[in-house]
Amino acid sequence: MTAGRTRTIASPLMAVAFATIAACSPGTVGVEAARSDRIPTTTSAEPVDPPDDSPPPDDTLPSDDTLPSDDSEAQLPPSSEPEVPLTQDEIDELVAELTAGGFCDADDVRDEGIVTAMHFVVQGRLQAPCYVDQPGEGDEPADVVVDDDPRLVAAWESLVAVTPNELVSDISLLAGFEPCSTCDTLAFVTILDEDSTFFLLAVDVVAGEDDPDELRLTMMHELSHVFTQRSGEQLDVSALGAAGCDTFYNGNGCFTDDSYIWAWIQEFWPPEIRDTLPADGTVGTEDEGVDRCELDAGYTGSYAARHPEEDFAETFSAYVYDVEVDPALGAKFAFFDRFPEFASIRERARDLGFAGTESNFDGCG
C-alpha cells in the first residue's frame, strides 16, 4: 500500500465533519489486494455457533452456554458521536477546505501509476471531482479524462449498490489510477490524517473495467479493512504495542473485545498459529502463507493464510458475492451470516444477480 502523508485538520468545521464523514480507524497500513490473490474452488458447509459476546482468554473459544441465541441481533457498534447530517452548503465548505488543506493530492496515489480523477466522499455520497487529470499536465492517460473518469464512478457505484451507507461512509476520498508497467495492485486503502480517521480508497480503473468481477471482490476486500478498524469501536489506536494488548495487535492498534476481527481470530486463528505471526502486526511472508495454505483448506488462498485480517477480507468478499469455495470455508461463511449488516450486503448482491461471481482465488489444502 502507498504510505500517505498526514495532514492537519485546521478549522472547526473540518474537525466536526471528520467525525461525520470518516468515523473510522487507520486500517492496516500496507494492506492491499493484488490481481494474483485468487482462484475458484467449491461450496460452503453448514453454519456454526456464534462467538461469545465477551471474548475469553487467547487460548480458549466461547462455550456453547454463553453464545447468543439465533434471534439475537449482531448490529454495528453504535458510534460514540451520532452522525449529524450536513447541509449542502456545509458539504461545499468542507470540500473546499479539504482541498485547500492538501487532502486531494494526486501524489498520494501516483506511485501506482497515472491518477485520473479523485473525489471526496461525504456521508457515503460521492462529490464532484476535486482532481481530474488534464492533457498537458505531464501524465498521459490511455483515455483522456476531461470532466471526470466514468470508469472510477462505475467502480464506486458497483460498491455502493450492495453496501449499506453506514459501512461505505467510512471512506473519505476515492481515487482512480491507470497502473504503471510494473504495478499489479488493483486497489488499496490508506490514511491521510494525523488522527487516523480519513481513508483514501484508490482503484486501478483499467483492470477494473477489464474484469468487473475481480474489481467488485477487491473493493469489498478493501472496504472490510476500513469498517473493521474504526478507531475506538473496533480498534484502540492508543495502544503502543503488542505487550499492552490483551486481544490482537495489528501494528496500528489493539482490537477491542467485541470487534469483528477479535471474534474472527478467536474462532479461526488459535494461539498456536497467532504465536507464529510477526509481533509488530505486519502481514506474514508469502512462504508462511503458502505453508499454512497447504495444510488447511479453510482459506481462500495463500494470501488469506498470511494474516487474520487478510483472511477476513478475502473470505468476506467471497461471502458477499457467493464465490464457489471449498466446503472447508463453510464455518467462515456462517460467521458472517450471524451479522445482519453483512447478510444484508450478500442479499443485495444476490438481488442484483452477482451470486456466483467468478474469482481467481487459488484455494488451499
Tens of pLDDT, residues 173-221:
999 999 998 998 999 998 777 666 788 999 999 999 999 999 999 999 9
Task: Give the helix/strand (H/E) hosting 271.
Answer: helix 271-274
Q: What is the pLDDT of residue 86?
A: 87
Q: What is the pLDDT of residue 317?
A: 98
Phi first, then psi, for residue 289 (nearest 5°) are -65, -40
Using one digit for the tens of pLDDT, what is the confidence trace for 314-349? Answer: 999 999 999 999 999 999 999 999 999 999 999 999
Q: What is the pLDDT of residue 146?
A: 62
The x, y and z cell numbers of residue 11, run together, are 478549522
Residues of the chain with pLDDT under 50: 1-80
- CA distance readout (Å), 7 to 99, 191, 212: 11, 10, 33
Q: What is the pLDDT of residue 136?
A: 56
Task: Give the helix/strand (H/E) hosting 268.
Answer: helix 260-268
Euclidean distance between CA atoms 334 and 342, whole angstroms: 11
3-class SS string, 21-78: HCCCCCCCCCCEEEHHHECCCCCCCCCCCCCCCCCCCCCCCCCHHHCCCCCCCCCCCC
Pick from 263, 249, 254, 210: nearest CA to 236: 254
